[in-house]
Amino acid sequence: LEDGRLGLIDWGQVARLSDVQRVQFAKAVLAVADRDEPLIAHLARELGVRTEQGSDWVAMKLGTFWLGSFGEEVVGELGGATSFEENLARIDRLVSTGEEYFVAVRCLLLTRGVAALIGFPCAVSSV
């Protein structure tokens, strides 16, 4: 906060991930931070992402968008953040996600979205 105190955002989300799931999720976040596109695609599938055609590129884009950045480097070629998922689905439609990771991904998306709205855009890939 402006006065130096730490603020906490509680999205009211609760999920319990096993040790194995936490390690898998952390590996995916690190792959996004490292911009390791083949590994992002692989780990997105391990986390439960499935598309109709099994496109590595689409799995990588989804993983990067969900865990990393809404930035133009990720969404620009697909029409920006507001059109990203719709346009990506035209290439290879998402059919399932790793539901056990939904809360963690949702919290990342909400936090990054609010941060961007208040003028503090952040991305895992720049941390």
Query: Residues 92-117: pLDDT tens digits?
Result: 999 999 888 888 888 888 888 888 88
Is the pTM of the predicted complex or chain greater than 0.85?
A: no
Instruction: Tell me: pLDDT of 3 over 90.
Output: no
Q: At what angle do helices 102-117 and 56-67 cross, to 10 degrees?
A: 60
What is the radius of gyration, based on Cα positions, of the chain? 15
Q: Write down the pLDDT at residue 76.
A: 86
User: How much is the average pLDDT of 8-31?
Assistant: 87
Tell me what percent of the residues of the chain surpass a pLDDT of 90: 48
Q: Write down the pLDDT at residue 87.
A: 94
Tell me what percent of the residues of the chain surpass a pLDDT of 70: 93
The residue type at 18: S
